[in-house]
Amino acid sequence: MEINQLKSFYEIVKTGSFSKASTNLFVSPSAVTHQIRNLEKDLNIKLFERIGKTVKLTQGGKLLSDAVRIFLYDLDRLKKLSDEIRECKTGRLSIAATNGIMLSVLPDIVSRFKRAFPEIKFNLISRSLLLELLPMLANEDIDLAVGPRSDLILPSNVIFLFWKSFSTILLTDKRNPLRKKKTIELADIGAHSLILFRKGGMVRKAVDDAFIQANLPYEVTIESDGAENAKEYVKRRIGITILPSFTLGPEDRDRLWSCDVSHLFGKTDYGIYYRKNKYMDSAFKHFIKFLAPELSQHLLVDN
């Protein structure tokens, strides 16, 4: 049994004529007759009977016609839906990111994506640490995650793809004496009260490792879950902070002094985490192009 046979059958039901059905389907009358004969043979049911020049459904044909109508309607809906998915006219995308990326990088990207594909429904999730995102990805609660490269062992079904490196910056208030130094040394930073991300983040780990390896003392006065909290306390001269460079916004430059300290703490690699062998639909592919166009070809090579 083939779809074309069912289409021919239902077109005859609608028009009451083999010849009209062939005209509507753009096939020869003999082709329609052949398809109906094969359908009757496959089903072992007589579908039509001829009374003079008219065609009438048999009882079996009547029973079959409703099922064929529903099937062809659902088939048409399926095709339309697949077209909409392919053209990003429908769909859903669930994305998680660490706080800094969610606040500083994604708003512009998501805004542009939503303008281009307004029918795609978004679910955005923010977490303080990458280790909170990875189980969500492994369990298929989200489609992809954006965060720093981890030195943790990834779940077996999760892949990391490098995106870009961000410098590490020191932020102080504008009256802090550190701004007068030509070169910032680790001991200079250790002499101040530090406002850092809580343990578990890559920048915090880089800072801790640097002081421990240099055997230098340092004091963490405030542990924060977000860059905005840290910057607010720096503005109030309660301490200094060390953050990824993307967290520094234009409005911060009026009240804060920044300095690249990547020579002390290195840079932080960020990237995309996604599930191995995941089917990437159009919404996923287009979002990657908005986020990191240079990655899209590499990421989507198997899709």
Lowest-confidence segment of 21-25, 75-79, 110-114, 264-268 by average pLDDT: 75-79
- Is residue 256 located within the same domain as residue 274? no
Residue-wise pLDDT tens digits, 278-289: 777 778 888 888
Q: In which band, very low, low, confident or very high, does the pLDDT at 82 lie, cut at 50, 70 and 90?
A: low
Tokens of residue 130, six digits: 């990458």
Q: What is the mean pLDDT of residues 50-70?
A: 82
Instruction: Measure Cα distances from 297 to 27, 180, 275, 285, 303 in Å.
Output: 42, 46, 17, 10, 10
- Between CA 303 and CA 300 the distance in angstroms is 5
- Is residue 155 located within the same domain as residue 278? yes
Quote the domain boundaries for residue 157. 92-163+269-299
Lowest-confidence segment of 53-62, 86-95, 105-114, 229-238 by average pLDDT: 86-95
- Is residue 147 located within the same domain as residue 276? yes
Q: What is the dihedral of CA 173, 178, 183, 189, to 10 degrees?
A: -90
Count the domains in the chain: 3
- Is residue 138 located within the same domain as residue 188? no
Angle among Cα 182, 211, 189 to the nearest 5 degrees reads: 35
> Can you give the pLDDT at residue 83?
63
Decide: pTM greater than 0.85: no
- Is residue 60 located within the same domain as residue 21? yes
CATH of residue 283: 3.40.190.10
- Is residue 157 located within the same domain as residue 244? no
CATH of residue 9: 1.10.10.10
175 closest CA partner among 262, 240, 226: 240
Q: What is the mean pLDDT of residues 4-12?
A: 85
- Is residue 277 located within the same domain as residue 142? yes
Q: What is the mean pLDDT of residues 210-226?
A: 94
Model confidence at 303: pLDDT above 50: no
Q: In which band, very low, low, confident or very high, does the pLDDT at 76 lie, cut at 50, 70 and 90?
A: confident
Burial category of 189 from C-beta neighbours within 10 Å (exposed 0-12, middle 13-18, buried 19 and up)? buried
- Is residue 236 located within the same domain as residue 278? no
- Is residue 158 located within the same domain as residue 22? no
Mean model confidence pLDDT for the chain: 87
Q: In which band, very low, low, confident or very high, does the pLDDT at 302 lie, cut at 50, 70 and 90?
A: very low
Model confidence at 298: pLDDT above 70: no
- Between CA 242 and CA 46 the distance in angstroms is 81
Lowest-confidence segment of 74-83, 182-191, 245-254, 274-283 by average pLDDT: 74-83
- Is residue 146 located within the same domain as residue 77? no
- Please identify, among 86, 106, 127, the residue that sits at the C-terminal boundary of a domain: 86
- Please identify, among 86, 101, 120, the residue that sits at the C-terminal boundary of a domain: 86
- Please identify, among 60, 86, 112, the residue that sits at the C-terminal boundary of a domain: 86
Lowest-confidence segment of 52-66, 99-113, 114-128, 157-171 by average pLDDT: 52-66
- Is residue 241 located within the same domain as residue 289? no
Q: How would you label 144-166 residue by residue, b for 16+ Cβ within 10 Å and e otherwise?
A: bbbbbbbeeeeeeebbbeebebb
- Is residue 121 located within the same domain as residue 102? yes
Q: In which band, very low, low, confident or very high, does the pLDDT at 54 lie, cut at 50, 70 and 90?
A: confident
What interhelical angle do 3-15 and 59-86 show, nearest 10?
120
- Between CA 262 and CA 95 the distance in angstroms is 29
Instruction: Measure Cα distances from 188 to 8, 140, 177, 198 in Å.
Output: 84, 45, 10, 21
